[in-house]
Structure 1
Amino acid sequence: MRGVLTNHLSPTHHQAIMYSPINRNGTKPYSELSPKSTFQQGPLRCIRSRWWIWELFGMITCVICLLAICITLRVFDGKPLPSIPFSISLNTIASLLGTAIKTTLLLVVTSAISQLKWLWFHRTDRELQDLQVFDEASRGPWGAMVLLKTSGISLASLGALIVLLLLAFDPFVQQLIATPQRQIASTANSTVVKRALAFNLSNQYDLAEGRGTGSAFLRMSGDIPLSQMRTAVANGANSGILVPELNPSCPTSTCNWPGFTSLGLCSKCRNVTDFAKDNWKCQQKDDMHRTCNYNLPNSAFNYTYFGVVTNNSKGWDIEIADEVRQRTWTTTITKTDADQNVFLVVSTIAMVENNLLIPGGEREQVREAHECSLSMCVVEHELAVDHGVTNHTRKTTEQPFVTRVVTSNNVTGSTAYEVEPATVRGVKYSIDGASTLRGLQQAITLAFEGNVTVQTINSSIAGSQPSIDGNVVPTNDLNQFFYIGFNFTQSIDNVANSVSRYMRSLSNETTVGQSIATETYIHVRWPWIAFPVVLVFAGLVLLALAAWETRRRGIEVWKYSCLPLLFHGVQRRSSSQEDFSSNPMDTIEEMEEEANRIRVKLGRGSSGGAWMLRQDERGYDLDLR
């Protein structure tokens, strides 16, 4: 067995810690009595206790985890938010790796601080209290702060600083990853917008289309347009709200298209009320007939009132024929030029409303008049959808189609056109005038032409009830809508937009747009990685210097073990006690092997009542006084 370990803390306590190879009662040591085998020293145990194997493993773990964070973030940097199994986020992965770095680095640093404790007392005499300071520094931030003050500029202070800075490790890791949003553009079939280069339905007409229309003239003419065209005209004419010319499909609610040109129907309306008020005239032909002529800049119409009957027995003057209150009609333009190739004009006139019942005077005057021209055109469109709102602008509009009327039948309303093809910006556009444009003209005429009339009754007996109008009689629903306030010019514009959409629906030419989607993506803020990198590098430097300094001074690797304090206690220089160095236990495994044989119990001593570690009745005597 070994010699005696003594600890002279003060003159009054001569021997603070003692162990003896022979029990006080002369019995053999406990190790010789106990059936328990002694702890066998092996190569792995020597590596663990004498070398820095665990600390080196910890630093390797730190570096691997740090590289894993950097590689993972580099892979996902700038990429869309990934879908990871079990709903694990990238922040969670970074946090787990960061926790592994922080934990292993803290173990390495505290182990280095514990070893530096022995180096601290090896260089020169130190206050014994410094043992407690180093021990607390290896346990947490408060002790590290005290060690910073105690150790000054040294390796120990570097370790204490690392322990303190590790408090901010997690926030820096969390700041590495941001998830902003960005706009991404993608091309998809759902963003396709059709464009028309031609308008030709000559192969699609069917006489059966005219059946059931209620017009014998139209059924017999054989020039009925396709039902889709009539539907497009009717939908536009009867819509109470503005019909958009383009209604694109945008799957992401935000899309844009490059500028494109397309064939379409253009309308231009103007208020000609002043002109109409100055250009009308009514003439009484006889007692039963009165004819009025109304002239507009590009169109005109006349109307004859007839059939006034006087009932003297009842005192009534009755106008048998209807009195016109509103008139809408179409006019085919037989001569056009290259700038305004108008093929059809739609006009409307509304008469003054008052209490006079018999035609004449104010009731025949024009209250309001409009004239709208229709022409085939090529339009350059700018189109975008922003958060579900369509933004459409006609950048340029050209009417390059020279249009001439070839034949016109006033009875059937049949008009054949001849339209010259046109080339606009290198693209050729063509229109079939013989059938297609003729069918369009008929569909518009059928939808708009009509009157609103009323019967009038006038009482000639003094004191009788006020005179009243008879029934209001419209020839079609659309004219009745105009009579009660429907917007005529908007109706014409809606027809132009609806027919333009119909033209594009027949085409195979398309313009592909881009859908703009909002995407959440990974943005790595790389400057924040500097702090973890510096801490890991500082821990590596601290471990390397602590190991190198320990080897240079020839000190054993005791680190955080408390056994050296028991087996190599504090001894005064003047002591005559046997020094432990005469029978040394330098390594931790030796001390652990010896400590494995000793059984002690904390209790009061027999003298002075001091606390001590007392031997088991079968073990060594290890007194703490």
Structure 2
Amino acid sequence: MDMAASTKLQAPSIPQPNDPDNSSEYAEGDNTTPPKSENKHSIGWSLSRWKWEIMGMALSFSSFAASITLLAVYHGRRVDSWNAPFTLNTFISILAQTARTSLAFGVGSCLGQAKWNVFSTRSGNLALFEAFDEASKGPWGSLSLLYRLRSWSLVIVGASVITSLLGYEPFIQASITQYGKLDKEPTSSVPRPSISQARRLDIGSLSFDTVYFNRRDTAPYLVYVQGADLGLLTSVYEGLSVSNMTVALPHSTCPTGNCTYGSFASLGICSSCVDVTSYIVADRQQTIPGETVYTLPWKLDSNFSLSTSSLIKNLGSCIFTSQVEKTISFNNTLNSTTFAVFGFLQPASNHTFYQTNTSTLENVVPKATECGLYYCTNVYSSTILEGTLNETLVASMSNRDMSSYEPYDPTVAAPHTLYQQFDYPRSDLQLFIPEKEAKQLGLTDDHTLRFNISQATIQSISYLLGRDISEEPSFIPDSTGSVLVQSIGASKDLNAKFRAIAESMTIYLRGHDYEGSAHYGVSQRWVLHYRIRWEFLLPPLSLTLAGCFFVMYTIWETQSLGLMAWKQSTLATLAHGLDAWTRARMREAYLNNTEDKSAKDISVKAERFRGGIELCEAPSSDASEAAPYRDSRVV
């Protein structure tokens, strides 16, 4: 028991301010003139003590500026345009890490200096002094300092910067994203993509012969021996197939599988159907009770009519002619490009209706329709995406140049109709697109706006249809009639059927001279591009500016207070640390394991002493003035 008592550590005696043994240590008063070393140093000398921090801020700012510049240069550019051995993200990461590390060094060093600046102007407990020192070491210490600072101080800026630097590099990295889009492929690397276009139609053949029908003829007639284009006839029958109505596409090439052809115009065949039921003439037969003959007044030699008895049998009637001037809706031949017209007389209702209403059939008029095929210019917008052609018909027009398709012999006065059994040699029929409409449709100056159709084409197409379809009325359905007429007449939607025929013929005509008149487009490839989300760079920019401001402010404050830049120096803390009285109290607290409580209770202030400063216990008045720096929450 006595041995234990004898070996028990004894607390050191605490020197008192009035102790004679320490009188020499406290002999000098506050009014003593500071030594020369305590005077304010020159700005140049002070800045030399901050050279590494200034260089760190310059390196941080320049690294961040280099990142911004590099990102701005590559914003929107192709990913494959970066040719370095490492990725753009890696290079940006290096710059961001350099900027963050340099910024952390400068701000952390200034937080270490801030403890001397703060405690030289006001008092605070030792726990706060230690919090300043820990804050200069990293985010956790900065968070602790922010917790202990109860009043506003610019130290908060530095501590907040150190804490927020954890997200500095991730935000810069998050600003770099990628997106894909179709880019133009250089024509030198791949063949030019093309799509069929008809600028001039010249199919079929004509042979000429001189025939004088009477002595008054002053010019020879042209006798036709037409050679029909069987490919065109095939396209007509393909248009009758419902399946081909949706899959018929023009010929095109696209080496990359993604191409754009823009807007372009091409010759084609168009269709139009008109309801002419109101023109039907009804003739009640006196010799046959209940029988009425319905006639469509075409000016043909053949009578185009349908009787009540045919309606009861659910029969219709169809007629074809190339003499469009003898029809009802297509008889304007002055500027017409129509080359074929079909007339239809069809039952207005189903077969059962006519059989059950025979007593009132004279009041039921059949439905009459005229459908014409004519030459036109179509404006298309075409693209190929992933190997699939998408073509949109933007506009269609049939503007005929009235000075075209004229006889070569100026003395001959020939009609403007396109088809005549005997005709004179003529110039090409020309269609055009007005310049105003061309601009509205996006057709530039290098696009063709005038299109030609040869006389051989006009006569051959009319001959082709007339050879397969007689200009005599035929019943529908009728197994002995033309297959073409029977197929068309059986359709419930004549508009759709003729539109399909016209589109099929157009596709054939566009591809007839593919090599000579193809329209060329632009090849594209799906390429990844850089996209910079600039909003993600705002936090790093704010931290960089705030850090630079805090460093500049700390340098200025240190110079204004006449202090040396001790920063985080351990030697400075040893040389200018606690006075003997406070040091003895803390030693006793460590022996009693109450150092944390004592650090919160003891309030100190940096006082000038013997050529420097020293942390001395602050009087109660100073402690009360420094209340914002006391941490009552943890005491």
Partner of 2:394: 393
Partner of 2:319: 329
* TM-fit CA distance, 1:228: 1.8
* TM-fit CA distance, 1:76: 1.1
Q: Higher strand share goes to which structure?
A: 1
What does 1:99-110 align with in structure 2 at a 5 Å threshold?
99-110=97-108
8 A contact 1:375–1:399 mirrored in 2: no
Q: Distance in 2 between matches of 1:163 and 1:485?
A: 81
Distance 1:446 1:349, change over 3 A: farther
Q: Distance in 1 between matches of 2:286 and 2:247?
A: 42
Q: Distance in 2 between matches of 1:171 and 1:132?
A: 31
8 A contact 1:191–1:248 mirrored in 2: no
Q: Does 1:278 align with 2:262?
A: no
Moved more, 118-127 or 179-188: 179-188
Q: Does 1:265 align with 2:269?
A: yes
Instruction: Give, as a single letter, the amino acid of the residue that structure 2 aligns with 1:200.
Output: D
* TM-fit CA distance, 1:236: 1.9
Distance 1:263 1:299, change over 3 A: farther
Query: 1:264-308: per-residue Cα shift (whole Å, max 9, x none)?
Result: 333332233453452697999xxxxx9x89544355645999xxx
Distance 1:416 1:452, change over 3 A: farther
Distance 1:403 1:373, change over 3 A: same
Q: Does 1:407 align with 2:411?
A: no
Instruction: Give, as a single letter, the amino acid of the residue that structure 1 aligns with 2:371.
Output: C
Partner of 2:6: none
* TM-fit CA distance, 1:225: 1.8
Q: Distance in 1 between matches of 2:337 and 2:582?
A: 126
Distance 1:164 1:351, change over 3 A: closer
Q: Distance in 2 between matches of 1:124 and 1:488?
A: 99
* TM-fit CA distance, 1:69: 1.0
Instruction: Give, as a single letter, the amino acid of the residue that structure 2 aligns with 1:297.
Output: W
Query: 1:558-578: per-residue Cα shift (whole Å, max 9, x none)?
Result: 7242x5555766344899x9x
Q: Distance in 1 between matches of 2:528 and 2:502?
A: 39
Q: Distance in 2 between matches of 1:403 and 1:90?
A: 70
8 A contact 2:269–2:375 mirrored in 1: yes
Could you state the TM-score of these two structures normalised by the residue count of structure 1? 0.57
Partner of 2:410: none
Distance 1:487 1:129, change over 3 A: closer
8 A contact 1:294–1:302 mirrored in 2: yes
8 A contact 2:206–2:227 mirrored in 1: no
8 A contact 2:324–2:333 mirrored in 1: no
Aligned-residue Cα RMSD (Å) equals 5.8
Query: 1:378-434: per-residue Cα shift (whole Å, max 9, x none)?
Result: x352636699865423353324453354436xxxxxx9995653363596543333x
* TM-fit CA distance, 1:241: 7.3
Partner of 1:570: 578
Could you state the TM-score of these two structures normalised by the residue count of structure 2? 0.57
Structure 1 alignment gaps of length 5 or more = 1-6, 16-49, 206-220, 285-289, 306-322, 409-414, 455-471, 578-602, 613-625
8 A contact 2:382–2:392 mirrored in 1: yes
Q: Distance in 2 between matches of 1:244 and 1:332?
A: 29
Q: Higher helix share goes to which structure?
A: 2
Partner of 2:142: 141
Equivalent position to 2:531, from 522, 525, 538: 522
**Bigger Rg over Cα:** 1
Instruction: Give, as a single letter, the amino acid of the residue that structure 2 aligns with 1:198.
Output: R
Distance 1:501 1:203, change over 3 A: same
Q: Does 1:376 align with 2:371?
A: no
Give the SS at the match of 1:10: coil
Give the SS at the match of 1:348: strand
Instruction: Give, as a single letter, the amino acid of the residue that structure 1 aligns with 2:399.
Output: E
Partner of 2:344: 348
Q: Distance in 2 between matches of 1:121 and 1:266?
A: 94
Q: Distance in 2 between matches of 1:543 and 1:178?
A: 38
Distance 1:423 1:344, change over 3 A: closer
Distance 1:145 1:436, change over 3 A: same
Q: Distance in 2 between matches of 1:270 and 1:138?
A: 90
Query: 1:324-366: per-residue Cα shift (whole Å, max 9, x none)?
Result: 934433223186732334433223334684788xxxx979x97
* TM-fit CA distance, 1:108: 2.7
Distance 1:495 1:247, change over 3 A: same
Partner of 2:494: 488
Instruction: Give, as a single letter, the amino acid of the residue that structure 2 aligns with 1:162.
Output: V
Partner of 1:623: none
Query: 1:198-247: per-residue Cα shift (whole Å, max 9, x none)?
Result: 22125699xxxxxxxxxxxxxxx963422321122221233467569986
What does 1:73-472 align with in structure 2 at a 5 Å threshold?
73-81=71-79, 94-95=92-93, 97-118=95-116, 127-139=125-137, 140-146=141-147, 148-149=149-150, 153=153, 156=155, 159-164=158-163, 166=165, 169=168, 173=172, 176-177=175-176, 192-202=194-204, 223-239=226-242, 257-258=262-263, 260-276=264-280, 278=282, 295-299=296-300, 301=302, 325-333=315-323, 337-350=333-346, 353=351, 367-377=366-376, 379=377, 381=379, 383=381, 390-394=391-395, 396-400=397-401, 402-407=416-421, 421-422=429-430, 424=432, 429-433=451-455, 435-445=456-466, 451=474
Partner of 1:218: none
* TM-fit CA distance, 1:372: 2.2
Instruction: Give, as a single letter, the amino acid of the residue that structure 1 aligns with 2:369.
Output: H
Q: When the two structures are aligned, how many residues end up with a matched partner?
A: 476
8 A contact 2:161–2:547 mirrored in 1: no
8 A contact 2:205–2:460 mirrored in 1: no
Distance 1:535 1:515, change over 3 A: farther
Q: Distance in 1 between matches of 2:527 and 2:279?
A: 55
Q: Distance in 2 between matches of 1:9 and 1:294?
A: 137
Distance 1:131 1:496, change over 3 A: closer
Instruction: Give, as a single letter, the amino acid of the residue that structure 2 aligns with 1:430.
Output: N
Q: Distance in 1 between matches of 2:324 and 2:429?
A: 18
Structure 2 alignment gaps of length 5 or more = 1-10, 20-47, 208-223, 307-312, 326-331, 406-415, 436-448, 596-635
Q: Distance in 1 between matches of 2:567 and 2:265?
A: 86
Partner of 1:71: 69
Give the SS at the match of 2:479: strand
Determine what percentage of the aligned residue pairs are the same residue: 17
Partner of 1:25: none
Q: Distance in 2 between matches of 1:610 and 1:343?
A: 113
8 A contact 1:162–1:538 mirrored in 2: no
